[in-house]
Amino acid sequence: MVKVAAVGFSCADVYEELGKFYPTGNGVDWGIHLCRMGIPVSVVSVVGTDEYGAKMKERLKEEGIDVTHLRVEHGDTCKMLMGLKNGTDRVHLKEIEGVMADYSVNNEEIDFIKQHDYMHTDLFGNVLTHLPELHDAGVKTVMDFSVFSADPDYKCEKIFPYVDYAFLSYDKDDAFIVDWIKKIQGRGPKIVTATLGELGSISWDGEHLYRCGIVPAKVVNTVGAGDSYIAGFTYGIINGWDIPLCMKKGAEVSSEVITKFEPY
């Protein structure tokens, strides 16, 4: 059976005024969705020795996720302090990096990741230097570049050759984004997909440009929409679907998330 790993950044979204928290991070959200769809998922990251670290491991284990490589280090778990705007919209107030600030995967964890067929990571998980090795080992990388793919500070052009499925966010369906996803795909990825909010998404595989609209839904909150889209798309890839079906699945999963408060 295909196995996938969420590697790198993780944190606890903390709503102090509500007394709630959620284990999250781009890869964690992605992994929870895939696990709920029946795909075996592992998390390779770090939490602290505070209450949030223990609760994150417990929650993820309850989801059926392998947390044997969710490392525990002395200190605070990375936290994102969250607030509410207009009573419902989630907003990021402050990040407390904690043990995530100095995290990097070790050799044993690299060997563990190599036992998986796919991995998800992003620009903030401190694993980028290991992508060439993991790529050479045959692990297919799903990477979320968010809004930073063209930002020169992140030097993404050095990363593209080691990514199989690249995802990025943009707010328009214009000539720039079409040209940009074609350029990225030409540097290595099999498929490059841009999510465009309410405009849907576009994908390029080197031969065809595909477009997919959204699934209409009553929006409660949009945080987590991108992660859920990527999870749905990845589920399609794992099952050998064509790109339009992968995009449709991504839109469907995303539409379910935005109708509720929780991030997954």
Number of domains in the chain: 1
The answer to whether position 226 is within a domain reads: yes
What single letter denotes the amino acid at residue 201? S
Task: Look up the CATH number of the domain holding residue 62.
Answer: 3.40.1190.20
The answer to whether position 135 is within a domain reads: yes
The answer to whether position 262 is within a domain reads: no
Which pLDDT belongs to residue 137? 98
Which pLDDT belongs to residue 86? 67
Whether 28 and 93 have beta carbons less than 8 Å apart is answered as no
Per residue in 194-235, pLDDT (tens digit) is 999 999 999 999 999 999 999 888 877 767 788 999 999 999
Rg (CA), the chain: 17
- Within 13 A of 119's CA, how many CA atoms are on the CB side? 30
The range of the structural domain enclosing residue 125 comes to 4-257
Whether 189 and 164 have beta carbons less than 8 Å apart is answered as yes
In this prediction, the residues of the chain whose per-residue pLDDT falls under 50 are none
**How far is Cα 151 from Cα 231, in angstroms, rounded to an integer?**
24
